[in-house]
């Protein structure tokens, strides 16, 4: 997969992209992540990328010119067309199903905004879909892009080893879209708290059933909204 990120702050991405799974996936050629600074495409000598909103109101809005020029430059860097994604609190809520869907693409082009938002012609003109990572407003789309990229890249084949395979994750199909079962590791007894006997029984069938039940209980208790959304079978 190729991921392009258009941003005013490419440096913000350096650390998250340099550790663990994201680092290994890039080194292993599973994903190629390319950062491009929108400000390099500003037309004037002040490198201006935002302006006052027409009709008045607070804050500044990202101008279409620099983003279109930046996008047209980036688009040509690969023959693959790519899916264009604007990070904005007005977008569709990002979730595991969306991560799975995006992980099947060959190319993703993320555009992170700042200020009060994007000039509407950016969304329309670039045919972009909008993604929000939750109902709160961040200072910009960079952290949101990182969240989405992390969730997508770990799903790419070969990105995580068998030892931490995302198959049984919370929200995954094997968890029926609900929460994952409780996990335990050594020691067997820690500060008086014992690992459930079933996990030491060696009976894989019983363990699988126990885990399914536990996942369901936890979903009912902590995330009943997942049951109501129809994602999880009761």
Helix, strand, or coil here: 219? helix
Selected binder of ligand ADE within 28, 59, 125, 134 (CB under 6 A): 134
Residue 104-133 contact track with ligand ADE, rule CB under 6 A, x = bound? ----------------------------xx
For the CA atoms of the chain, what is the radius of gyration?
22
Which among 4, 50, 142, 169 is annotated as catalytic?
169
Interface region with ligand ADE, contact rule CB under 6 A, candidates 87-95, 157-165, 191-199, 226-234: 87-95
Any residues with CB less than 8 A from the CB of 171 and at least 6 apart, and which? 95, 96, 97, 177, 178, 179, 226, 231
For ligand ADE, the closer CB: 17 or 148: 148
Selected binder of ligand ADE within 10, 66, 141, 178 (CB under 6 A): 141
For ligand ADE, the closer CB: 137 or 189: 137
Helix, strand, or coil here: 97? helix
Which among 107, 123, 154, 211 is annotated as catalytic?
154
CB atoms closer than 10 angstroms to residue 96: 18
For ligand ADE, the closer CB: 171 or 181: 171
Q: Virtual CA dihedral for 37, 40, 42, 43, nearest 10 degrees?
A: -160
Asked if 116 is an active-site residue, the reply is yes
Residue 9 is a binding residue for ligand ADE (CB under 6 A): no
- Minimum CB separation of residue 128 from ligand ADE in Å reads 13
Residue 166 is a binding residue for ligand ADE (CB under 6 A): no
Per-residue DSSP letters for 120-171? Answer: HHHHHHHT-EEEESSSS--SSSHHHHHHHHHHHHTTSTTSS-GGG-GGG-TT
Query: What sign for the dihedral angle of Cα 201, 202, 203, 205?
Result: positive
For ligand ADE, the closer CB: 54 or 136: 136
Q: Which residue ranges make up the site for ligand ADE (CB under 6 A)?
A: 87-89, 132-134, 136-138, 141, 144
């Amino acid at each position: 997969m190729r991921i392009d990120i258009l941003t005013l702050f490419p440096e913000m991405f350096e650390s998250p992209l340099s550790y663990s799974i994201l680092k290994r996936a890039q080194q292993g050629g599973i994903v190629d992540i390319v950062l491009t600074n929108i400000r390099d495409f500003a037309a004037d000598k002040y490198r201006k990328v935002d302006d006052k909103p027409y009709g008045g109101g607070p804050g500044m809005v990202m101008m279409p010119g620099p983003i279109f020029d930046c996008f047209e430059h980036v688009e040509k860097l690969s023959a693959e067309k790519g899916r264009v994604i604007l990070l904005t609190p007005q977008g569709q809520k990002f979730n595991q199903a969306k991560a799975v869907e995006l992980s099947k693409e060959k190319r993703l082009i993320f555009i992170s905004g700042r200020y009060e938002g994007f000039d509407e012609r950016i969304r329309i003109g670039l045919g972009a879909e909008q993604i929000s990572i939750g109902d709160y407003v961040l200072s910009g789309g960079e952290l949101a892009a990182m969240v989405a990229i992390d969730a997508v890249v770990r799903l790419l084949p070969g990105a995580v080893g068998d030892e931490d395979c995302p198959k049984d994750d919370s929200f995954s199909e094997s968890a029926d879209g609900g929460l994952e079962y409780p996990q335990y590791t050594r020691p067997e007894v820690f500060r008086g708290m014992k690992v459930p006997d079933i996990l030491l029984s060696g009976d894989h069938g019983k363990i699988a059933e126990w885990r399914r039940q536990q996942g369901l209980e936890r979903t009912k208790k902590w995330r009943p909204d997942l049951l109501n959304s129809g994602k999880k079978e009761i």
